[in-house]
Structure 1
Amino acid sequence: MENISLLLSDALAPYRVSLAPSDLQGRLRLTIDDQAGNTVLNRDVNQSQLADTRALTDVVDGLHRDLLIAEGRLEPSMIAALRVVGTAGRYGAEMR
């Protein structure tokens, strides 16, 4: 668990990541603190998500997005708009 915590901290630098048991169902509490020690995000994740490379990548991508939102650098409505544009591009390419 310490290795995963270090990997997450490297991926999310300058934030500090800590992991602690959350419940008896194999979930972990992932806490992200800023440089001043203030908690920015808390998430519960399954241990299996941290063991699989693809799932871990998805977790980190989601955390990056959530940090951008928490910092005020990305609006949730912008995410929805980007998804619509991405979907329209895929469907348009299939029709050609």
Structure 2
Amino acid sequence: MESISLLMGEALSPYQVTLTPSGTHGQCLVTLKSTVGAIVVERVFNQVQFTDKRLLTDVVDGLHRDVLIAEGRLEPCVIAATRTATQDGRPAVRS
């Protein structure tokens, strides 16, 4: 678990990443703190997601998206619109 924490710390720098076992079904609480120690994002994941490279990439991507939303650099409605456009078969970005 410590090596996963280090990898996530590198991927999500400058945020401090803490992984804490949570629950009785293999969950893990992931906490991202700013450089001043304020909690930016907290999410619970199943530890299985840390054992597969593809699933771990999804976890990091999701946390990065959550950070962007928490900091106001990305609006949740933009994500919803992109998903809807992609599901409808339309290009996600139009020029």
TM-score by length of 2: 0.88
Deviation at 1:90, TM superposition (A): 5.7
Partner of 1:15: 15
Deviation at 1:89, TM superposition (A): 4.1
Partner of 1:69: 69
| Moved beyond 2 Å, runs of 4+ | 84-91
Can you list the C-alpha shifts for 1:10-65, whole angstroms capped at 9, x where unaligned? 00011010111111111111110000011111111111001111110111111111
Aligned length: 91
1:4 maps onto 2:7 in alignment: no
Deviation at 1:87, TM superposition (A): 3.2
Partner of 1:94: none
Deviation at 1:75, TM superposition (A): 0.5
**Pairs within 5 Å for 1:75-86:** 75-86=75-86
Deviation at 1:88, TM superposition (A): 3.8
Inter-partner Cα distance in structure 2 for 1:3 and 1:43: 19
SS in 2 for 1:35: coil
- The structure richer in helix per residue is 1
Inter-partner Cα distance in structure 1 for 2:77 and 2:39: 24
Q: Structure 1 unaligned segments of length 5 or more: list them.
A: 92-96
Which is higher, the Rg of structure 1 or of structure 2? 1
Q: Superposition RMSD on alpha carbons, in Å?
A: 1.5
Worse-superposed segment, 78-87 or 20-29: 78-87
Deviation at 1:84, TM superposition (A): 2.6
**Pairs within 5 Å for 1:11-90:** 11-89=11-89
SS in 1 for 2:28: strand
Q: Structure 2 unaligned segments of length 5 or more: list them.
A: none
